[in-house]
Chains A and B, each alone.
Chain A
């Protein structure tokens, strides 16, 4: 869970410090309302919301939104980080033990759950990514993490391969299990989550079978 650092000075009872505490707490409360409103809108529409929509949903003024966030992009990044961090925290690593088929089943099922969860914010991020180095950096970090998960779950099979083949198999798995491919299947091929997971199962089974 992401924790918010509250810029609240230590309470010393009455006087100016107490008033500052109150103001900071209110500011923090407003900020959280804005982030929560943005998150709801993103998850409902899979799009980057307009400031006016955010203000309305949060029950604050447009001016208030801009007091807390310089532009919508930085607000969106906060929401993105929140959703992705929650999804990543729920990931249960698949250990490289036991039959391959069980590990494929578990990995595909877990990965599908994560991708489904971040799908709205990932879809919304498309329009931001092209012009936002901060978003591109986040995608890079997220992909590096998935690579670690894949290498862990399928270590025995991958380690049996020659370096070039190992690299290609790993890249194929990464491309196949990429969140953009999940988005493609769900949003552009109109597959149900269940069917999309079935497709992943077929693709990964095929790749691992060929590798053995």
Chain B
């Protein structure tokens, strides 16, 4: 970041050192990216709070370089969070609410399970840093709001028919049942493999929807 601020307007206007400044800015951005990716790799490898010295070695930079690019560890973890969220966006397509009920459930479960599985290594790191880091807390809140929006729009037809109180309770339950915390519990705390956890989560979410929806709208029973 300090390299980026070195790109002064005077240099650009004079037309002299301009290519060098662009190169510096590019290199700075690439180094920053390497540091973020190295941190992500270490967290994925099981280290919930990687040490700066390990990040430096993995990224192939000096520890000094890390502090040149990031004011503090909060800034680094915020950049990590942003990168992780961006990498998950392709998984987050809206679900067409005109599809049959079970297909919508399948689509939502595919999305939630893929996102939750990708976020597993970060769960502990987030829990540790969330209280101290406003950026990470904001990121988690944004993730929640996004998950709520996806669930509400996927099951809008069913939810619309409910009274307000029941609708809120149903959405709250859907979110809790498909949340990354639930996934962390199933996969890590209770040791279920991916398939078993996926089947269990689908069953939980499906059964919540079945409670809410009257039986004449659902002719098929959700397979466990």
Q: Report Cα–Cα, A116/B207, bound state, in Å.
A: 26
**Residues of B contacting A: mostly:** helix
User: Does A109 reach chain B (CB closer than 8 Å)?
Assistant: no
Q: Report Cα–Cα, A202/B176, bound state, in Å.
A: 11
Please determine whether B176 and A206 come into contact, CB atoms closer than 8 angstroms: no
Q: Report Cα–Cα, A127/B127, bound state, in Å.
A: 8
Interface mask (B177-188 → A, CB under 8 Å = 1, otherwise 0): 101011011100
Interfacial residues of chain B within 156-196, with CB under 8 A of chain A in the complex: 168-170, 172-173, 175-177, 179, 181-182, 184-186, 189-190, 192, 196
Please determine whether A207 and B207 come into contact, CB atoms closer than 8 angstroms: yes
Which of these, A168, A174, A191, A202, contacts B170 with CB under 8 Å? A202
Please determine whether B124 and A130 come into contact, CB atoms closer than 8 angstroms: yes
User: Does A143 reach chain B (CB closer than 8 Å)?
Assistant: yes
- 18 new A-B pairs (CB below 8 Å) besides A181-B176, A189-B172? A126-B127, A130-B128, A168-B192, A168-B196, A172-B200, A175-B182, A180-B184, A184-B179, A189-B176, A195-B169, A203-B204, A203-B208, A206-B203, A207-B203, A207-B204, A209-B207, A210-B222, A210-B224
B203 surroundings in chain A (CB, below 8 A): 172, 206-207, 210
Interfacial residues of chain B within 71-85, with CB under 8 A of chain A in the complex: none
Please determine whether A181 and B185 come into contact, CB atoms closer than 8 angstroms: yes
B124 surroundings in chain A (CB, below 8 A): 130
- Assuming the contacts A171-B190, A203-B176, A206-B210, asked whether A176 and B204 have C-beta atoms less than 8 A apart, the reply is yes
Q: Which residue of A lies closest to B205 (CB)?
A: A206
A-B pairs with beta carbons under 8 Å apart, 23 shown: A126-B127, A130-B128, A165-B224, A174-B185, A176-B204, A178-B185, A181-B181, A181-B185, A188-B140, A189-B172, A189-B176, A189-B179, A191-B172, A203-B208, A205-B211, A206-B204, A206-B210, A207-B204, A209-B207, A209-B210, A210-B203, A210-B207, A210-B222
How many A-B pairs have beta carbons closer than 8 Å: the answer is: 96
The interface size bin for chain B is 35 or more
Q: Report Cα–Cα, A29/B189, bound state, in Å.
A: 39
Which of these, A47, A126, A209, contacts B128 with CB under 8 Å? A126
**Residues of A contacting B: mostly:** helix
A206 surroundings in chain B (CB, below 8 A): 203-204, 206-208, 210-211
User: Does A185 reach chain B (CB closer than 8 Å)?
Assistant: yes
A130 surroundings in chain B (CB, below 8 A): 48, 124, 128
Interface mask (A140-151 → B, CB under 8 Å = 1, otherwise 0): 000100000000
- Assuming the contacts A175-B186, A180-B185, A206-B204, asked whether A189 and B210 have C-beta atoms less than 8 A apart, the reply is no
Minimum CB–CB distance from A175 to chain B (whole Å) comes to 4
- Assuming the contacts A202-B208, A206-B207, A209-B211, asked whether A195 and B182 have C-beta atoms less than 8 A apart, the reply is no
User: Does A100 reach chain B (CB closer than 8 Å)?
Assistant: no
A60 surroundings in chain B (CB, below 8 A): none
A126 surroundings in chain B (CB, below 8 A): 127-128
User: Does A199 reach chain B (CB closer than 8 Å)?
Assistant: yes
User: Does A198 reach chain B (CB closer than 8 Å)?
Assistant: yes
Q: Report Cα–Cα, A34/B189, bound state, in Å.
A: 33
The interface size bin for chain A is 20 to 34
A172 surroundings in chain B (CB, below 8 A): 186, 200, 203-204
Minimum CB–CB distance from B214 to chain A (whole Å) comes to 15
Give the top 9 A-B pairs by smallest Cβ distance, nearest first: A206-B207, A175-B185, A184-B181, A202-B173, A199-B173, A171-B190, A172-B200, A175-B186, A210-B207
User: Does B144 reach chain A (CB closer than 8 Å)?
Assistant: yes
